[in-house]
Amino acid sequence: MSLDSLPDRSAWRALSAHAGSMKTRHLRDIFHADPDRGTRLRLEAVGWYFDYSKNLVTDETLALLLQLARESGVAERRDAMFAGEHINVSEDRAVLHVALRMPEDTPLEVDGVDVVADVHRVLARMSAFAEAVRSGEWRGHTGKPIRNVVNVGIGGSDLGPVMAYEALRHFAQRELTFRFVSNVDATDFVEAVRDLDPEETLFIISSKTFGTLETLTNATSARAWIVDHLVDERAVAKHFVAVSTNAEKVAAFGIDVTNMFEFWDWVGGRYSMESAIGLSTMIAIGPENFTAMLQGFHAMDEHFKSAPLEENLPVLLGLLALWNHDFLGYPTVGVMPYDQYLHRLPAYLQQLTMESNGKHVTLDGQHVTYDTGPVYWGEPGTNGQHSFYQLIHQGTTKVPVDFIAFAKSLNPLGEHHDILISNVFAQAEALAFGKTEGELRAEGASEAVIPHRVMEGNRPSNVLLTKELSPYVLGSLVALYEHSVFVQGTVWGIDSFDQWGVELGKQLSVKIIPELTCDATPELDHDSSTNTLITHYRSLKQTGPDHDHR
Ligand code: F6P
């Protein structure tokens, strides 16, 4: 399918003109003119209730956005992804995280291999291993059962596992302790293991490439910690497993490849939490709950694949985010889960959205002439309300918000849950409709304070509501955001599946590492700022401990 460049598509041009008039409108008036829109601009799919009526959109906006999706070939590219075509063009790879959650009886041949059969072969190995750890059958080197599981990885090899563990803690085997080490800052490792017994600790070294400096540095320290305490190199066999696509490097590190769980180059790091990278999740919640999570992912995949665009949840979520960013000019999106278990979801979504769509060239290498990926950020409610919501309500930058809420708490306690959820609805209402001078005056507010208390409103939000957090629901939620990222990336015509932008910093740090040792005398040939920073760091390192600052 040959496409016009994005700014030349008729829907894009129509949306640009339409945005001019929409910017002069207010959600108060839009609701006044269309009082039933709250019952109309909503969608129910895969158990989710999606209210998008509080966006600055009309039926015309929505029709144009859907036209844009059609003119951008969203459905065709989606089908190409599901068929295993190499839609990751800059790395010449298929993009098949959807195959990770396909049922066993749905073969999918890619480049001559049934990838679904491979997925289920690895899932079976993961299940057997997870059960062995959970039951105490897998013993450490000295014969003690494993009580602590430490996932060592970074980026997609950390954020998915830690987010999923925290999200599904309620379903976890509580006798086991889970820790996640990602940062190359030694503090992360030292604090993670300081109260753990090495004899009862299993490390999962998670790295797609097995070449990531942070992970290998932490893994090396973990191996030394085990070998030093257990005084036997052979202990590695019982205390280390690897998750990777790279068997050679796993073996070179010293982990027996029989203790390696594989995945494939068609799984992007940030799309890997339900692959073997989810081994810690499976140990925590058990294979049955893990399967339920996969089913949730798959249900959203099927919906994305088959629902008409206008009733397609990821399509609508993606198009509305694009409308807010490209046409209304809002630079960020706030994701506010009103559930403490989802407290790492915003961090997870930051990698998913920004590593995917933070790109400035199109698939054919042209510099874009429009904005691509917005900044995603967030915190769980209601904590955020008592820190940055002030800016969201009255600041000069508008922040479209995705509220995520559940009708039932996993920990029902008194009035807590109704209080929590009342805040979701209240915040969305306040953002949209605000408070006028007239309303304040009618309430008897003093004239001097009225300008400070006026809430302009007209701030868009979505509400995603479902019954209860579960492994299935988490899977469907993650798949929803994955596909909404896909929709946006497809319209922008960028490669949402590569991440070249992270490479330069990595290369430069490898050059700088030897320059930081105090006895190093290599000629520094960076810019004057970097040279001076390095020199100053070296001289600070040589000074004694500064007890006054403790
Ligand atoms: O540096 C970015 C990145 O490549 C991410 O895309 C990836 O999730 C992370 O590093 C970790 O990579 P690996 O799993 O290969 O260690």
- Considering just the CA atoms, what is the radius of gyration of the chain in Å? 25
* Of 18, 289, 338, nearest in space to 127 by CA: 289
Say yes or no to pLDDT of 207 above 50: yes
| pLDDT confidence tier of residue 545, bands split at 50, 70 and 90 | confident
Helices of type H across 363-512: 389-394, 416-433, 437-442, 450-453, 471-492, 503-512
Ligand 1 pocket, mutate which of 88, 154, 214, 253 (most atoms under 8 A from CB) = 154
pLDDT at 520: 64
- Residue 146 DSSP one-character state: P
| pLDDT confidence tier of residue 448, bands split at 50, 70 and 90 | very high
355 counts as catalytic: yes
Residue range 444-458: mean pLDDT, rounded: 98
Mode of pairing for the β-strands spanning 48-51 and 461-466: antiparallel
- Calculate how far, in angstroms, residue 272's C-alpha sits from the geometric centre of ligand 1: 11
pLDDT at 548: 56
Of the chain, the percentage scoring pLDDT greater than 70 comes to 98
Residues with CB under 6 A from ligand 1: 153-157, 207-209, 212, 215, 269-270, 355, 499, 502
Contact by Cβ (8 Å): 437, 457: no
Selecting among 199, 355, 379, 482, the annotated active-site residue is 355
Residue range 41-70: mean pLDDT, rounded: 98
Say yes or no to pLDDT of 30 above 80: yes
Q: What is the mean pLDDT of the chain?
A: 96
| pLDDT confidence tier of residue 3, bands split at 50, 70 and 90 | confident
pTM: 0.97
| pLDDT confidence tier of residue 550, bands split at 50, 70 and 90 | very low
Whole-number Å distance between alpha carbons of 303 and 312: 7
Say yes or no to pLDDT of 389 above 90: yes
∠140-141-146 over CA atoms, to 5°? 10
- Give the model confidence (pLDDT) of 328-356 as tens digits: 999 999 999 999 999 999 999 999 999 99
Of 270-284, 387-401, 517-531, the one with minimum mean pLDDT is: 517-531
- Calculate how far, in angstroms, residue 155's C-alpha sits from the geometric centre of ligand 1: 5
Buried b (16+ CB within 10 A) or exposed e, 131-161: eebbeeebebbeeebbbbbbbbbbbbbbbbb
- Calculate how far, in angstroms, residue 255's C-alpha sits from the geometric centre of ligand 1: 20
386 counts as catalytic: yes
Selecting among 23, 360, 408, 506, the annotated active-site residue is 506
* Of 273, 213, 207, nearest in space to 242 by CA: 207
3-state percent breakdown (helix, strand, coil) of the chain, nearest 5: 55, 10, 35
- Calculate how far, in angstroms, residue 186's C-alpha sits from the geometric centre of ligand 1: 19
Give strand ranges (E) for 85-216: 109-110, 113-114, 148-152, 177-181, 201-206
Total H helices, total E strands in the chain: 22, 13
Pick the residue whose CA is nearest to atom 9 on ligand 1: 155
Ligand 1 pocket, mutate which of 91, 208, 508 (most atoms under 8 A from CB) = 208
- Calculate how far, in angstroms, residue 220's C-alpha sits from the geometric centre of ligand 1: 18
Contact by Cβ (8 Å): 267, 100: yes
pLDDT at 544: 80
Residue range 43-70: mean pLDDT, rounded: 98
- Give the model confidence (pLDDT) of 99-146 as tens digits: 999 999 999 998 889 999 999 999 999 999 999 999 999 999 999 999
> Which tokens is 492 given?
């922008």
Indicate the burial class of 264 (C-beta count within 10 angstroms; 0-12, 13-18, 19 or more). Answer: buried
| pLDDT confidence tier of residue 543, bands split at 50, 70 and 90 | confident
> Which tokens is 190 given?
């030292």
- Give the model confidence (pLDDT) of 237-280 as tens digits: 999 999 999 999 999 999 999 999 999 999 999 999 999 999 99
- Give the model confidence (pLDDT) of 370-380 as tens digits: 999 999 999 99
Q: In three state form, how does the secondary structure of 6-65 look?
A: HHHCHHHHHHHHHHHHHCCCCHHHHHHHCCCHHHHCEEEECCEEEECCCCCCCHHHHHHH
Q: How many other β-carbons are positioned within 10 Å of the β-carbon of residue 256?
A: 13
- Give the model confidence (pLDDT) of 143-195 as tens digits: 999 999 999 999 999 999 999 999 999 999 999 999 999 999 999 999 999 99
Say yes or no to pLDDT of 430 above 70: yes
Whole-number Å distance between alpha carbons of 266 and 351: 18
* Of 426, 511, 407, nearest in space to 466 by CA: 407
